[in-house]
Amino acid sequence: MSEHRPTSPWTVEPPLPGSYRAIAKLGKPDDIKLPSDRYVSLLKRELGLEDAFFAKPPQDGNKPVRIDGGNALGKDVIRAVAAIVGEENVQCDAYNRIKYSHGKIQEEIFNLKRGIIHEITGAAVHPRHAEDVGRIVALCSRRKIPVYAYGGGSSVNKGFLPERAGITLVLGTHMNRVLEINERNHTCRVQAGCMGPDLERALNGAPELFGTTLRFTCGHFPQSFELSSVGGWVLTLGSGQASTYYGDAANLVLSMEAVTPTGIIRTSDYPSTATGPRVMDMMKGSEGAFGILTELTIRIFRYMPENRKYFGFLFPDWCSAVGATREISQGEFGLPAVLRISDAEETDHAFQMYPVPSAVEFILKARGCRPGRRCLSVGTVEGDLDFATLVRKKVRRIARHFGGVNVTGRAAREWEKDRYRSFLIAEAMTDYDILLDTVETPVRWDNIHEIHEKVHRFADSVPGTMCISHASHFYPSGTNLYFIFGIRGGVKEYTAFRNGLIDAMVQAGGSPSHHHGVGRLMAPWIERFLGSTEMEAIRSIKRHFDPDNIMNPGHPFGPATQKKGKGQRR
Amino acid sequence: MSEHRPTSPWTVEPPLPGSYRAIAKLGKPDDIKLPSDRYVSLLKRELGLEDAFFAKPPQDGNKPVRIDGGNALGKDVIRAVAAIVGEENVQCDAYNRIKYSHGKIQEEIFNLKRGIIHEITGAAVHPRHAEDVGRIVALCSRRKIPVYAYGGGSSVNKGFLPERAGITLVLGTHMNRVLEINERNHTCRVQAGCMGPDLERALNGAPELFGTTLRFTCGHFPQSFELSSVGGWVLTLGSGQASTYYGDAANLVLSMEAVTPTGIIRTSDYPSTATGPRVMDMMKGSEGAFGILTELTIRIFRYMPENRKYFGFLFPDWCSAVGATREISQGEFGLPAVLRISDAEETDHAFQMYPVPSAVEFILKARGCRPGRRCLSVGTVEGDLDFATLVRKKVRRIARHFGGVNVTGRAAREWEKDRYRSFLIAEAMTDYDILLDTVETPVRWDNIHEIHEKVHRFADSVPGTMCISHASHFYPSGTNLYFIFGIRGGVKEYTAFRNGLIDAMVQAGGSPSHHHGVGRLMAPWIERFLGSTEMEAIRSIKRHFDPDNIMNPGHPFGPATQKKGKGQRR
């Protein structure tokens, strides 16, 4: 519990170094985003909070970390690992063991701030190159030691939670470089631990850094962009906010290098080759359960930010917003980069947060866009200038056809400014008994309404909660639904509500995840969704690459295990 | 040998029913394309044929088929299969056993016409539906009987050659229907045995046949379009001639149903779902070695043939043609549907076949397009009208920048008319001792010239042969090279030359195939290309789905086997 009594209800200082809060913090220590007064009012109303709710002292977790008990990982193993990577690259102190055992799902952050920790890794190990990874995996194969991979640490599904004491390979410390930009092929060779901003900086600055003629962009901008690694994007099947144009992370990869207990995989980087099932595709989405991704060759795109154009529309209702985006996705004229539609609840929230003058409100209502029904759409077009201009023209025409009112590109620009930071508000909320989180599923055009309705029906049935949603990754045959939810209470209430939302999603025909991945979170749903034949096929590849289940054990792609005590081995 | 002495050097009549020639025939019995006089002159010059070469009697194979020896497949098995599918759907006569054991690689056609056959299947079985397939696969699993799948039978790499007597499932007889067109999702559910023209007819005629508002197209038009099945496209990783816009066959699939000895796979049809490695992707390219594909859900596109525009350019040389198409592929303004560049040899052939008036020739030379160096490019743009117009405008501008002379869309239209029939000329050639065939590889922009040069250098080193090439499937990071070669002599000379070409391709860094697949033909190269770690990963999936190696045994994805006698079992 904090020693100081804040003057604001929010903890505005950077976390105390070495504290639980420092581990729980998203982004840089001093990157703090506090909720606006309007947002606080909204939350109070939605969640039924008493006026004085945020006056009580926050649970900020500014307490030094501590681990009770020893390290189940033997000293001999730690010595052997240090002999490979150097002692300076092995950390066994409490802070780093806890830090590299946690992702960023809200319950982890909530618990960390209250000093509650579960399983933790035996050592955080920072390999210098693929050879280190190879030698460590070989050592761990011989000794049957669990190996976890930590990329950016932004997992929201307990993707690398060490259920048994083992070692966690931190790829972002040394294996974080852009190795080559191939201008002729428009490709880039990059180490798996490279973080989003470092990759994008190298690509944007390619003429200065790599002597190219053109500047490039990676095209992949998930909300976690600043907190996630290239390897993580691919291993969890992520989607960026501009995926409608650039494609999902899995589509951006041309080849990879991965170290598995069975051997090293180095695939060819041809865009297409009719030489059997692609082993690279098997690694996509494998979430560290097959091996450690060390290097990728990815597609890169010409960087032409000067051609980016913004658009925004307000549709009378959800059906017309869905109809317009379906037509845009199927029109065969090229695709916008960013495309988003908010449902009526999310749109109402936006209007409450950013009220418009009453004259504007009058016009909007006159044009059929009434609170409680209207839906906001924002987006961008990119690429060649003539192409971007054409796509925006087509988007405008289609939006008009579906009753959309052009609200200019301003909302899109505002959204873009805050795109990597909007979720930081949730940090302040976990200081109190409020958890804000998200679940998401792909949908087809023919079941989007059913899934949307059923999930909201469940959410509405739980008092003291809120749930708003949008669609943000478009394909000709469908899109995704992203549900942002909030609940007052502790982890127990949060877990019950979140699981209920996922249940509703999957029961309505959705998948447990469109782009967050599986992790341990989705264990109860993954086999139900895939079916046992598919699940067994995935597990058979797992057995091939990792016969002793040392790679990310505890993940549902491995053999089903019972819950065991700390450090216990199979 | 034929009983009649032809008045033309070519066999102009349809094959004798029940003859070897009838099996060897590509396309409909009466679809005969004879080489023009100009083509014959060209061949004589290129291959060094004497004047009277085509005067000797052709080896037309109009002889009734005959099988020496019995059927290694036991009568009890045949009875058991007939009990599942009905007697009318089991064929054990010589004609059908030979027919369904052969694809269309030139050596098969050449040998068939000379009455030379190797291994043949025990029975051609025509399942009525997925349930039949399931019961047959279960029966064959119990009895360890090899199962081969026959889609359109257009394999050019011995994809389903029965090395051991077993049964061949013919999917095109009954399992050939378009089951559903989902207008909302722009998807189509189709049985794996549906042939290209039947699919396209259903999609083009969707309003009349399925009550939709829009007409659709499948977007996949390989040269084998009329001779191949939807399942075959996906299982061999095919590419259509319009793949630059529509994507390769593998990209068109949203979900599939497949019967394997281990179980039935039915994947979800979401365009994207972050639920682990996609089992559907493992089946792509599996060439019948994992199981039998029974049904697919594929993307379909709006059919707007009225928007199609044609273009054609003559570039001064190969480097400028490659440079222009690279810029087109990387320009971020949308992509043409068809895009092709012929190298100098192929362009010279085109001019010899279709000479231009000397005034035109004068102008072309004046603009830097000289015989022996100039390269023809043809293509189309499709999609929305404004989009197609924009893409053609951009293509024209880029072509001009690279020194291309606009030769109008006429050559593209002519090419399109003959697109599914041009290879029929090879049929007449196998009547003599001439084999015309193709090999193809993906290339990156940074190794296209090296591979092109090295393959041609090898071809030039073998006297009495010809080799011309083009690139016809474009991606931002590369394209493919397609080599058309001809050689005088029998199968021995042909095999040595073809293998030399593949050796040259792979040694220069190419892959054994861009879109024809692996089959038994690529066995000597596949592991060298993939590496043993990838090869073992593919084989481990094979073992999972098909532990007894009953699916397409003899294929290199299965365990390495020694050459065995007819009908021998493991």
How close is the nearest chain B Cα to the Cα of A446, in Å? 6
CA distances from B204 to A179, B27, B114, B216, B306 (A): 48, 22, 41, 5, 13
Name residue B478's beta-bridge partners. B444, B475
Q: What is the pLDDT of residue B570?
A: 27
Residue A566 predicted with pLDDT over 60: no
Q: Please give the model's pTM, rounded to 2 decimal places.
A: 0.96
Other Cβ atoms within 10 Å of A66 Cβ, number: 11
> A206-215, A231-240, A371-380, B412-421: which has the minimum mean pLDDT?
B412-421
d(CA A216, CA B332): 12
Looking at chain A, the number of H-run helices and the number of E-run strands are 22, 18
Residue A7 pLDDT class (50, 70, 90 cuts): low
Distance, in angstroms, between A283 CA and closest chain B CA? 7
The C-alpha atoms of residue A466 and residue A455 are separated, in whole angstroms, by: 12
Quick one: pLDDT band at residue A384, thresholds 50, 70, 90?
very high
Counts for chain B of helices (H) and strands (E), in that order: 22, 18
Residue A115 has pLDDT above 80, yes or no: yes
Q: Angle, to 10 degrees, between the axis of helix A491-507 and the axis of helix A106-113?
A: 180
* A543 contacts on B by Cβ (under 8 Å): 540
User: Do A20-34+59-170 and A305-417 show the same overall fold?
Assistant: no
Q: Tell me the pLDDT of chain A averaged across its residues.
A: 94
Q: Of B330, B386, B442, which is closest to A390 when you measure between CB atoms?
A: B386
Nearest residue, CB atoms, B518 vs list A276, A326, A541 = A276
DSSP state of B35: P
Q: Do A274 and B515 touch (CB under 8 A)?
A: yes
Domain covering A305-417 assigned CATH 3.20.20.70 in the classification: no
Cβ distance of B274 and A533 shorter than 8 Å? no
Geometric angle at alpha carbon A156, from A416 and B266, rounded to 5°: 100
Size of interface A-B (CB pairs under 8 A): 288
Contact state of B285 with A271 under an 8 Å Cβ cutoff: no
Query: In the predicted model, is pLDDT for residue A568 greater than 50?
Result: no
Residue A56 is classified by DSSP as S
Q: Do A390 and B387 touch (CB under 8 A)?
A: yes
Beta carbons of A514 and B182 less than 8 Å apart = no
Chain A partners within 8 Å of B269 (Cβ): 444, 477
Test B331 with A384 for CB contact under 8 angstroms. yes
pLDDT at residue B7, as a whole number? 62
* d(CA A538, nearest CA chain B) in Å: 7
Nearest C-alpha of chain A: how many angstroms from B451?
A: 13
Contact residues, chain B, for A530 at CB < 8 Å: 268, 275-276, 279
Give the whole-angstrom CA distance, residue B53 versus residue B50. 5
**Which of A274, A511, A540 comes nearest B516 by C-beta?**
A274
- Give the nearest partner residue to A275 out of B186, B282, B526, using CB atoms: B526
Contacts of A545 in chain B (CB under 8 A): 537
Tell which of B137, B273, B319 to mutate to test the A interface (max A CBs under 10 Å): B273
pLDDT digits (tens, 9 = 90+) for A70-88: 899 999 999 999 999 999 9
pLDDT at A565 over 60: no
**Residues whose CB is less than 8 angstroms from the CB of residue A250 and which lie 6 or more positions away in sequence, other chains included:** A234, A237, A281, A284, A285, B272
**Bridge partners of residue A292, in order along the sequence:** A259
* Collapsed DSSP state (helix, strand, coil) of residue A561: coil
Region A398-419 average pLDDT: 95
Q: How far apart are CA B244 and CA B242, in angstroms?
A: 6
Average pLDDT, integer, range A432-440: 95
Domain B178-302 classified CATH 3.30.465.10?
Answer: yes
Q: What is the pLDDT of residue B8?
A: 79
Contact state of B274 with A516 under an 8 Å Cβ cutoff: yes
A277 and B265 in contact by Cβ < 8 A? no
Tokens of A100: 């590299």
Domain residue spans of chain A: 20-34+59-170, 178-302, 305-417
Q: Are the C-beta atoms of residues B557 and B542 closer than 8 Å to each other?
A: yes
At residue A561 the predicted structure's pLDDT band, cuts being 50, 70 and 90, is: low
**Which of A188, A243, A270 to mutate to probe the B interface, most B CBs <10 Å?**
A270
A268: closest chain B residue by CA: B530
Task: Give the pair of three-digit tokens for residue A317.
Answer: 């209702």
Cα separation, A409 vs B263, whole angstroms: 52
Which residues of chain A lie closer than 8 angstroms to B332, CB-CB? 301-302, 304, 382-384, 387
∠ CA(B514), CA(B515), CA(B519), 5° rounding?
A: 100
Rounded-to-5 percentages of helix, strand, coil across chain B:
40, 20, 45
Q: Which residue from A minimizes the CA distance to B247?
A: A272
The C-alpha atoms of residue A123 and residue A128 are separated, in whole angstroms, by: 16
d(CA B301, CA B219): 7
CATH of domain A20-34+59-170: 3.30.43.10
- Facing residues of A259 across strands? A264, A292
In this structure, is the dihedral angle defined by the CA atoms of residues B411, B416, B417 and B422, taken in order, positive or negative?
positive
Nearest to A24 by CA among A133, A136, A153: A153
Helix (H/G/I), strand (E/B), else coil: B311: strand
| Tokens encoding A484 | 């942002």
To test the contact with chain B by mutation, choose from A477, A526, A527 the residue with the greatest count of B C-beta atoms within 10 A, namely: A477
- Cα distances (angstroms) measured from residue A480 to each of A3, A440, A449, B359: 44, 7, 11, 59
Whole-number Å distance between alpha carbons of A4 and B170: 78
* Residues facing residue A178 across a β-bridge: A190
* Alpha-carbon separation of residue B131 from A415, A418, B86, B136, B464 (angstroms): 52, 54, 13, 9, 53
More confident residue, A142 or A424: A142
What distance in Å separates residue A535's CA from the closest CA in chain B?
9
Helices of type H across A194-290: 196-204, 206-210, 230-235, 243-246, 249-252, 279-283
Neighbouring C-beta atoms of residue B499, cutoff 10 Å: 14
CA distance B1 to chain A (A): 38
Q: Which residues of chain B have pLDDT under 50?
A: 1-3, 6, 562-570
Tell me whether residues A273 and B238 touch, CB distance under 8 A. Answer: no
pLDDT digits (tens, 9 = 90+) for A146-200: 999 999 999 999 999 997 789 999 999 999 999 999 999 999 999 999 999 999 9
Take residue A508 and report the two structure tokens written for it: 């309505």
Closest CB from A331, A394, A511 relative to B270:
A511
pLDDT at A474: 98
A268 contacts B511? CB cut-off 8 A: yes
Fold assignment, B20-39+59-169: 3.30.43
The residue behind tokens 């060094």 is B48
pLDDT above 70: residue A2:
no
CB B536 to CB A332 under 8 A? no
| Neighbour order of strands in the sheet with B123-125 | B90-91, B123-125, B167-170, B147-150
- pLDDT tops 70 at residue A375: yes
- ipTM for the complex shown: 0.95
- Among residues B146, B298, B281, the alpha carbon closest in space to that of B229 is found at B298
C-beta atoms of A286 and B270 within 8 A: no
The answer to whether A249 and A218 are in contact (CB under 8 A) is no
Q: Which of B249, B271, B144, B136 is nearest to B199 (CA)?
A: B249
